Amino acid sequence: MPIKLFPNLRLLNPPLSATRFPSMNLKPSVNSSRAIPAFRRIFPFKLKYLGLPTRVNSQQQQQQQQLGLRKLSTRPFRPAASSEFGRRGSRAGEIRGSKNLIDDEAELSDWVSDLRTDSFHSNKRFSKDDDVSDFRKGSGRENRGSYSMKRRRKSDSDDSYDSSRRGNRNSVNSFSRNNISNNTSRFSRRSNSELEAGNVGRKTRFSNDDENDVGEERRRGMSGIRDLLSEEVSDNDDDDDDSVLRNNARSLIGLDKENGGMSVAISSPGKHDSFMSESRFDQCSISALSLKGIKDAGYEKMTIVQEATLPVLLKGKDVLAKAKTGTGKTVAFLLPSIEVVIKSPPVDRDQRRPPILVLVICPTRELATQAATEASTLLKYHPSIGVQVVIGGTRLALEQKRMQANPCQILVATPGRLRDHIENTAGFATRLMGVKVLVLDEADHLLDMGFRKDIEKIIAAVPKQRQTLLFSATVPEEVRQICHIALKRDHEFINTVEEGSEETHEQVRQMHLVAPLDLHFPLLYVLLREHVADNPEYKVLVFCTTAMVTRMVADLLGELKLNVREIHSRKPQSYRTRVSDEFRKSKGLILVTSDVSARGVDYPDVTLVIQVGLPSDREQYIHRLGRTGRKGKEGQGILLLAPWEEFFLSTIKDLPILKAPVPSVDPDTKKKVERALSHVEMKNKEAAYQAWLGYYNSNKKVGRDKYKLVELANEYSRSMGLDNPPAIPKLVLGKMGLRNIPGLRSK
């Protein structure tokens, strides 16, 4: 049975295009770093002169050879037709960096204070965000590690497997158990293819007058819900949808062996602009008023993930959906959810505890606010449907008042704050018993150990009889294994990233730079300076490992007179909202950020993403990179690593990331950076050092050898211009397992 699948798979996986980077000049050259500005050396395809980046994997090397010596044409970079889905590579991810135990000093000090007060669990309970979640990942690290081990072993044993088939192995296995024809006829469809207030343990809650409570702004009541029932529904009924989509069908469907769910592999139509489909929203059973809202939002056709998921979701099925970053997943889960509200019986206006019908969970405050804003846009012509957002960093009492004064049917929340409401808001648990649709956005992150307990609690608080939607750009195997926590057994896995193809966008050029730590700050400055000079409309995200490292790097770049903002969990929510809005609207700005901006945040037109230091794992690398190249636009990504961090590259070896030559930094620039570092506040450098140590200590690989780790941390301290490593509280060192390690200073 499985053998039958392969011809189909081949059809779905067109041969490799020889021209992946058609515009790249591949003539070897010895780069004179002085003659060629650093950024241009890293992205030589922008230029008419020579450069020879080294491909990471051998397949890519082969492609490069096939390309031969070609004249470089520069902007605009356009990927070759059909190449996006034509590539294969062994699926990386077998070797994954472990999640950090302590993501930043906030967690560290909170942890310490928790230890002091012996109230760790109770304190942690009510405010969670990205950074915090990373802290809490500690308990799950071992689990993650063992998953990784399993995966590694599995992949080892599969070495003989043809790599071109490897990506489809799951499908093949699962097909062998199932009735292909039934599945195909039923489901075939066409397709192109932080942070709740970091109040954990923090004693301050921020009052937030400028909180973007969309539901409140809209001041929607429940009065018109009855009217909604008489809303005109578009002509197409479900069968029509099916036939339209069936006509377009090019997909394969099989039962997901691991968890019993349906698995749908979506094919490529052979064009590189894979983000949009040819299908219109009115081809689905969507209410006329929703269609009006969609039109006003400027959406004409569905994106690939919308086209693939909407018909299934409109039928009420549970779905786990995977689609590349910036391809419209938010609308994909909001629209069918809104349709459920429309079709629900009217709620009595005088009801004391009106039900929440749709519950959307997002891992970060920014993302929750963004999703609520999108919902608000789509609800333009549904004035009686209310959407509210509950997130950390705002006063709980204020949210309670708002929810009481103006009950909504759609609630968007971060996990920690939601749990807080479940436990502390009168009548809230009763309202949740009305939930018909549960959405986990960035599902893999939410199902990760950092959020797992909250999510389990939330799932226990909503009815079993519900529809559940899990969306993410990354769905690692371990998430497939545990998604039954949330999904029904017969759920569908709709994967719009073709198995064997890359999870990143082709139009985003990726580079990695490996250089000693002492060069990282000067190199970062040089890269940014060059990019700013080259791009009048620059908009750059610089990702750092922890919140305190983020603050220090932002200070440094500010001292270097770059136009910089910073965002991380240690900033008050009002500040974060303001900076996030500013960056969304601005051009000519650099946002230095922790992982609060890694997932989901939709900043338009980001020109460059720089990741400094080890990303927590492969998924985080992909999500951070995904802040650029959204909606089919071009973008660039640079990963700056130290030599001892190079192991991370094996986890992303299937991605088209090229090795860039390290630009030399001229003595004047070095001095300039040193001077700027000397102006950065000592306490910020000390905090960065401690946070850096905590972050790498929690990395399975780097943190294994404590002696080496301390040496590296002290190298980092020197790179900040410090003669002696800052002293760290004894309690903290003890907790990190670093007591009595030579080279550390304690206080």
Ligand X SMILES: Nc1ncnc2c1ncn2[C@@H]1O[C@H](COP(=O)(O)OP(=O)(O)OP(=O)(O)O)[C@@H](O)[C@H]1O
Residues near ligand X (CB under 6 A): 299, 302-303, 306, 323, 325-331, 473, 600, 602, 626, 630-631
Q: What's the min distance (Å) between Cβ of 375 and ligand X? A: 11
Handedness of CA 737, 740, 744, 745 (dihedral sign): positive
Q: What's the min distance (Å) between Cβ of 541 and ligand X? A: 12
Q: What's the min distance (Å) between Cβ of 606 and ligand X? A: 11
CB 622 within 8 A of CB 474: yes
Q: Residue 156 and residue 232: Cα distance in Å, rounded?
A: 56
Sheet (strand 252-255) strand order: 252-255, 262-265, 492-495, 319-322, 467-472, 437-441, 358-361, 410-413, 387-390
Q: What's the min distance (Å) between Cβ of 450 and ligand X? A: 18
Lookup: tokens for 360: 């959307």
Nearer to ligand X, 168 or 593 (CB): 593
Q: Residue 240 and residue 500: Cα distance in Å, rounded?
A: 32
Query: How many angstroms separate the Cα of 513 from the Cα of each of 31, 517, 657, 662?
Result: 15, 11, 10, 6
Nearer to ligand X, 114 or 502 (CB): 502
Q: Is 118 left (phi over 0), alpha (psi -120 to 50) or beta?
A: left
Q: Residue 267 and residue 526: Cα distance in Å, rounded?
A: 41
CB 80 within 8 A of CB 17: yes
Q: What's the min distance (Å) between Cβ of 337 and ligand X? A: 13
Q: What's the min distance (Å) between Cβ of 601 and ligand X? A: 7
Closest CA to 675 of 526, 521, 504, 445: 521
Nearer to ligand X, 603 or 648 (CB): 603
Task: List CB contacts of 443: < 8 A, sequence separation 6 or more.
Answer: 320, 470, 471, 472, 475, 479, 483, 486
Nearer to ligand X, 326 or 336 (CB): 326
Q: Residue 201 and residue 119: Cα distance in Å, rounded?
A: 9
Q: What's the min distance (Å) between Cβ of 269 and ligand X? A: 16
Three-state DSSP at 350 gives coil
Burial of 178 (0-12, 13-18, 19+ CB in 10 A): middle
Q: What's the min distance (Å) between Cβ of 510 and ligand X? A: 16
Nearer to ligand X, 302 or 439 (CB): 302
Q: Residue 404 and residue 385: Cα distance in Å, rounded?
A: 15
Nearer to ligand X, 328 or 407 (CB): 328
Q: What's the min distance (Å) between Cβ of 259 and ligand X? A: 22
Beta-strand (E) ranges in 568-708? 589-593, 608-612, 635-641, 657-659
Q: Residue 602 and residue 627: Cα distance in Å, rounded?
A: 7
Nearer to ligand X, 47 or 598 (CB): 598
Residue for token pair 């299937």? 654
Residues found in the chain: 747
Nearer to ligand X, 600 or 725 (CB): 600
Q: What's the min distance (Å) between Cβ of 448 and ligand X? A: 16
Q: What's the min distance (Å) between Cβ of 277 and ligand X? A: 9
Nearer to ligand X, 279 or 573 (CB): 279
The helix (run of H) or strand (run of E) holding residue 716 is helix 706-719
Q: What is the dihedral of CA 620, 38, 641, 101, to 10 degrees?
A: -50
Nearer to ligand X, 331 or 557 (CB): 331
Nearer to ligand X, 227 or 278 (CB): 278
Q: Compute CA 557 distance to the chain's CA centroid, rounded to the nearest angstrom.
A: 25
Q: Residue 656 and residue 637: Cα distance in Å, rounded?
A: 11
The amino acid present at 452, given as its one-letter code, is R
Q: What's the min distance (Å) between Cβ of 401 and ligand X? A: 30
Residue for token pair 């492969």? 618
The helix (run of H) or strand (run of E) holding residue 173 is helix 169-175
**What does DSSP say about strands 657-659 and 54-55: parallel, antiparallel, or unpaired?**
antiparallel
Q: What's the min distance (Å) between Cβ of 623 and ligand X? A: 7
DSSP-assigned states of every residue in 67-121 = H-S-----SSP-PPTTTTTT-------SS-PPPPS--SHHHHHHHHHHHHHT-HH
Q: What's the min distance (Å) between Cβ of 299 and ligand X? A: 4
Beta-strand (E) ranges in 561-612? 564-567, 589-593, 608-612
Lookup: tokens for 532: 């700013």
Nearer to ligand X, 518 or 581 (CB): 581
Q: What's the min distance (Å) between Cβ of 610 and ligand X? A: 17
Nearer to ligand X, 306 or 337 (CB): 306
Nearer to ligand X, 276 or 642 (CB): 276
Closest CA to 684 of 556, 597, 518: 556
Three-state DSSP at 701 gives coil
Nearer to ligand X, 630 or 735 (CB): 630
Task: List CB contacts of 44: < 8 A, sequence separation 6 or more.
Answer: 24, 25, 50, 51, 52, 53, 72
Q: What's the min distance (Å) between Cβ of 296 and ligand X? A: 12
What SS3 string covers 130-166?
HHHHHHHCHHHHHHHHHHHHHHHHHHHHCCCCCHHHH
Q: What's the min distance (Å) between Cβ of 139 and ligand X? A: 26
Nearer to ligand X, 602 or 617 (CB): 602
Nearer to ligand X, 114 or 130 (CB): 130
